[in-house]
A and B are shown apart, each in its own frame.
Chain A
Amino acid sequence: MPEPSPPPAPGPQANLKDPFVAGVLAWLVPGLGHAYQGRYPKAVLLCFTILGTFLYGLYLGSDKEVGWGRVVYFSFRKNDVRLYYLCQVGIGLPALPALVQADVVQRGRRPFWHALMAPAKLHANDPPPPDPKYPDDPAQRTCAEVVHSLARLFELGSLYTAIAGLLNILAIYDACCGPVLPEPAKKKDGQDETEQAEPKGQAIPVEKPA
């Protein structure tokens, strides 16, 4: 009977802890779920990359005249269905002010923070009414004015922020399930080489640093 080959030496392990908590944290702030799991280099990388993309998109969609971050807003009004927001909300907390601003505007009140992520008016006579104290209030701008003022930057900003949200969904998956490991090489008898080496539970093997 042939001697069984010893299992490969275990590499460094990534402890996923509670995948649900990690996933929620990763959704709230990009990289936070990885930081919770102690995967700090990856947390920093994801935070800078995803948050940087989102903030750059917000910057592109900002203007002193029309307000800040006008490319991220929540609106499912007639003639203004903002499907982009479904992607943008993937980034979690940074996109949530849009929900607050949408509620504020729906109640007929003036949005705060220079109309940050506030939905623009559909018509000039929609609420909130103009306030004489704020003659250049960006909250008074209509959708057409915002799009016209930002021109191509409106689409670019929307695209950047939406892609950032979608990229964070990848990061959430990584926080919940760990990295997608390469396909294991098949043995002649059809058995995976890594079958015996794969640890059970929430720890996943990772490659050794080069």
Chain B
Amino acid sequence: MQILKLIFKNAFRHKLRTGLTVLGITIAVLAFGLLRTVISAWYAGVEASSATRLITRNAVSLVFFLPISYREKIRQVPGVTEVGYSVWFGGVYITEKNFFPNFATDAKTALDLYPEFVLPENQKKAFLRDRKGAVVGVKTADRFGWKIGDPVTLKGTIFPGNWEFIIRGIYHGARKSTDETQFFFHWNYLNETLRKTAPYRADKVGWYLVGVKSPDMAADVAVAIDRLFRNSLAETITETEKAFQLSFISMTEAIVMVIRLVSYIVIAIIMAVMANTMAMTVRERMGEYSIMKTLGFGGFYIAGLIFGESLVIAATGSALGIILTFPAAGIFGDSLSQYFPVFIVSRLTIYMDMAAGLIIAVVAAILPTRRAIKVRIAEGLRRIG
């Protein structure tokens, strides 16, 4: 107990130095936590994906569509429970700055296949009844102040024109990791319009959403679907929703890698700062450690004092950094919600923050401890006075 007291007293003996080091660690852990949260946000779609959902798209590229006629053929593949479809609409609300993901989709199936989009039953019915109806995530609705019954006009980019919708439903995510920024409407509305304005673009979908009975069947079902359309005009690639999401991330893998690297560099820098603090501390206290050795305290105790002090400083900084990560992530997430629909500090990030704090403390204390233990008592005592 007395040793613990000594560790705490030593840690806050040089208040300015300890305060600045704690501040540095706080900022580093905060930065590390935010950068890790950015990476998590990047992978949010992957995390939210279901193992019982497959995506079938054009084998050449996602920008090439698939015929609507494929739906019935896919439905007949053993193991398939439901088949829905979507088209990336790419509509703009007033200006491009107001970006949010919007899709034309097979409304009923989409709601069945995505149970994590929680929509009240009356809103669901209203949406299904209204050809121009749209459902929007609560974050996007809040962002633009939309309420049920509000008319919304999107300017088409891929499908030119002004497209009018009525908000019929506002969904909430079943989990924290569910994207609450999406906007989707009836594919029929898009298709019927295209039949009149651009018939060659009608009766096509961007991708199929395929529900399978169990995750174990996913691989076989995917192979079976692709086999169906081999040597056709529009060959397909079917993959799990997770792999589909990962294919998007792979396009920006370099950015993710840089962010990850920067997060480690931040920790490495603060590790050097902390090591410097501990080196100065131990050099100043070499005489005291020698006194303790003289009194019979062995290397184990001296190491305990130095590692303990390092741990107290690093733990204080890390704890503050972790606490501050939550409000900072809230502000960050709100201001960048159009880019990162899911921006939550995960449990893994907190564990990594803690691990970073521990590593900082241990690494910073190794060399000073070695020196304090190795120095001869007589030499250490000469430094006093």
Chain B binds chain A: no
Hey, which bits of chain A sit against chain B, CB under 8 A?
none
